[in-house]
Amino acid sequence: MNNEHVELLSPAGDYKCFEAAMDAGADAVYLGLTRFSARAKASNFTVEELNKAIDKAHILGRKIYLTVNTLLRDDELDNLYYMLYQPYINGLDGVIVQDTGVITKIKEMFIDLPIHVSTQAAVTGSSGALYLKELGAVRIVPARELSLDEISRMKKLSGLEIECFIHGSLCYSYSGKCLMSSFIGGRSGNRGRCAQPCRLPYDNTYPLSLKDLCTIDLIPDLIGAGVSSFKIEGRLKSSSYVYGVTSIYRKYIDSYYRGDGYHVDPQDRTKLVSYYTRGGNCSGYYRTYNSRDMITIDSPSYQTSTDESPEDTVKASTAINIKCSIKKDKNSVITVSGNGYSAETVTDIVPQISLKHPLSADEACASLCKTGGTPFVVKAITAEVDEGLFLPKRKLNEIRRLGLDAFTAGILSGYKRDPAKCFDTKPISSGQNTQHEDKNPVPDVRVFVLNADQARAAGSSGADALIVPMSLYSSLSAEFSHTAKKIYVSLPYVIRNEKRIRDFIRDHDVAGYYVSNFEALYILKELSFNGEIVADMHMYAYNKKAYEHFRDRGIRTTVPVELNRHELIRRGIFGEEMIIYGKLPMMISANCVYNTKTGCRSVRGGHDLYITDRKSERFFVHCDCDECTNVIYNSVPLSAADEDSLFARLRPSSVRFMFTDERDDMVSDMIGSYLSGRNSNGSINTKPSGRYTKGHLNRGVE
């Protein structure tokens, strides 16, 4: 990437979109293969198409980034080497990754392949960026919810390249922390198959449907904040969308760097909105934490222009200079130069003595400059031709072809990698459950609570430990000091104020912390915390490589909630914690349902409400006002406490009950019932009184 100018990064769901991005002036394109892409519904690329795109991009002086930004099972992780090998040696410029297991595996196999961490990782602070930098990341795509000041701070403190979205669709939840599509329909956003339940009506309106992002007026501010790459969303959109949006942003980025005085033509702004938009546009979170004005509210509908490509499309090309020497009794020589590279080719073509019409320099140039059908355009051409010589046009064409072929091969050779630098590592999955025997087959019982009444009920139960949100611990710390029960603090799902977290950890002595983000992991390490650290359900340990990543750092993991029983048995969960009851958090959002519906009601500790979908499912929403974060929970609880045979195979080290909107007496009853069944060595048959779900234990996700 040009270190002086911001990179314009465009999407490509298929090869036609890739060509549209190139023609419109994109500096780089991100795309996915037919597997392991967060836009699995796009056509995507075969390996052959990807290699073709890599070569074309490099000839044009552009870049290609491959998305591998889904969570991978162990069997899929084993195939990663074979998927990446050819693109790697062909000069792939980087991979966009979410899964820590995938990051670790890629760094082992392809040590010099640049790692870009996806927005699916929901990085919100410099501490998270630094954590990933230590893993080998060179670029971060932070959460889309960050302000310009937060982005600037992340850039300065981490020193990493920062890639930010400038146009396209916005998710209601922090990306990577949304499980709603997964649990409602089995189509996981973490697997690239989100069904977009946020676009559906709730309470007869659309309180979760965000307007599309458009930042054409913020280009100078984003550059000033230190953004390295401007990313356009849209791998599911048409080639006309890709061309139209890319070309307009190209125009204004170039205008900014020319110093023309930044001003957006209203007609261009209208064009941007017309290409594809959801209920109007907004400037995202760059200048506001959240806003009712960002929500479509009345409709999730689209307004879109024709799918036809603009008539004035200009094909992308590389400017070259050609010099040719045609001398008597000598092999003809052609030199092609451009983009800082030069290739001289000595052909085996020797001119003839002319009998009637000698070849002139102008005639030679006229033939040599015909580059139609290639990605080259001749900027300057000279030919030295001795008098009295002749070459037929087919020979001149052959000289040109040989020169362009040598120039192309020379350019591409600078991108190729040595296959000897690749290391195919030992397969992760063997088909066997390799977990160790647990010397203590009876797991600890831990209880997560959301309010004070639940905390008191859980505190008087026979549970081994209590898990409370950070804000609740602060208000009940005096009461907790009188109990011998282990107290764990659940740090915020998203950390936007790192100082507040550091101060809390320094000021409180607790048994351990439950963490949901890389920011918390880095801060705890930085402060040399020596208690227990548990990576919660949003710190995905989807495969053994990710599990080992956390284990090797002394971090316990939570059993992935999107794996089915067969996948869990195959993976093994020794030493982990398993959630066996609770309404799981489906969405974590910087926007606020309550604020959208009635206006802000900020209160200490937060407050609660419910939203109802078109099928009369009622979702509990907790407004955490201390963190200015919304958590939307599933309409029915997960219940797996009666899975005796599964527990016998898995043997988790601890099990967790999660209470959200339950009454305190239900907390006491459920914990008491579970412990009674377990302690009597009988069948544990603890189930909620109403509807419940087994989650993904039976079906799994796509």
Q: Are 339 and 283 within one domain?
A: no
Residue 29 confidence (pLDDT) above 60: yes
Helix (H) / strand (E) element for 487: namely strand 486-490
Whether the CB-CB separation of 450 and 473 falls below 8 Å is answered with: no
Q: What is the pLDDT of residue 201?
A: 96
The CA-to-CA distance between both ends of the chain, in Å, stands at: 36
Work out the pLDDT band at 517, boundaries 50, 70, 90.
very high
3-state secondary structure of 59: helix
Domain residues for the domain of 477 are 444-580+638-668
Q: What percentage of the chain carries pLDDT values higher than 90?
A: 78
Q: What average pLDDT score do residues 246-265 get? A: 96
Whether the CB-CB separation of 120 and 98 falls below 8 Å is answered with: yes
Whether the CB-CB separation of 401 and 349 falls below 8 Å is answered with: no
| Helices within 136-187 (DSSP H only) | 148-158, 180-185
CA angle 574, 578, 584 (to 5 degrees): 150
Q: Are 137 and 28 within one domain?
A: yes
Q: Which amino acid is at 512?
A: G
Return the residue matching tokens 């069904």: 195
Q: Are 403 and 526 within one domain?
A: no
Whether the CB-CB separation of 393 and 375 falls below 8 Å is answered with: no
Write out the two tokens for 21: 């991005």
Phi-psi region of 578 (alpha: psi -120 to 50; beta: other; left: phi over 0): beta
Q: What average pLDDT score do residues 36-53 get? A: 78
Q: Are 275 and 151 within one domain?
A: yes
Q: Are 76 and 125 within one domain?
A: yes
Buried b / exposed e along 464-498 (16+ C-beta atoms within 10 A) = ebbbbbbbbbbebeeebeeeebbbbbbbbbbbbeb
Quote the CA–CA distance of 302 and 500 in Å, as a whole number: 41
Quote the CA–CA distance of 79 and 424 in Å, as a whole number: 10
Helix (H) / strand (E) element for 655: namely strand 654-658
Whether the CB-CB separation of 31 and 12 falls below 8 Å is answered with: yes
Number of domains making up the chain: 3
Output Rg (C-alpha) for the chain, integer angstroms.
30
Work out the pLDDT band at 439, boundaries 50, 70, 90.
low
Evaluate whether residue 599 is within a structural domain: no
Q: What is the pLDDT of residue 65?
A: 98
CATH number, domain of 480, equals 3.20.20.70
Q: What is the pLDDT of residue 332?
A: 98
Q: Are 264 and 377 within one domain?
A: no
pLDDT tens-digit map of 629-672: 999 999 999 999 888 788 878 889 999 999 999 999 999 999 99
Evaluate whether residue 628 is within a structural domain: no
Write out the two tokens for 641: 């406490």
Q: Are 294 and 376 within one domain?
A: no
Q: What is the pLDDT of residue 432?
A: 43
Q: Are 145 and 58 within one domain?
A: yes
Evaluate whether residue 553 is within a structural domain: yes
Evaluate whether residue 681 is within a structural domain: no
Quote the CA–CA distance of 276 and 259 in Å, as a whole number: 30
What letter does residue 428 receive in the DSSP assignment?
S
Q: Are 512 and 564 within one domain?
A: yes
Cβ within 8 Å of residue 447, ≥6 positions away: 458, 461, 463, 465, 466, 467, 656, 657, 659, 667, 671
Evaluate whether residue 617 is within a structural domain: no
413, 434, 452: which is the final residue of a domain? 413
Question: For the chain, what's the residue count?
Answer: 702
Evaluate whether residue 433 is within a structural domain: no
254, 286, 311: which is the final residue of a domain? 311
Evaluate whether residue 188 is within a structural domain: no
| 270 burial level (CB within 10 Å; 0-12, 13-18, 19+) | exposed
Q: Are 163 and 225 within one domain?
A: yes
Return the residue matching tokens 């796509």: 702
Evaluate whether residue 199 is within a structural domain: no
Write out the two tokens for 311: 């008539």
413, 431, 463: which is the final residue of a domain? 413
Global pTM reads: 0.94
Q: Are 543 and 499 within one domain?
A: yes
Work out the pLDDT band at 421, boundaries 50, 70, 90.
confident
Q: What is the pLDDT of residue 2?
A: 43
Q: What is the pLDDT of residue 684?
A: 59
Q: What is the pLDDT of residue 431?
A: 44
Residue 494 confidence (pLDDT) above 80: yes
Q: Are 28 and 79 within one domain?
A: yes
Cβ within 8 Å of residue 512, ≥6 positions away: 486, 488, 489, 531, 532, 533, 534
Quote the CA–CA distance of 448 and 659 in Å, as a whole number: 6
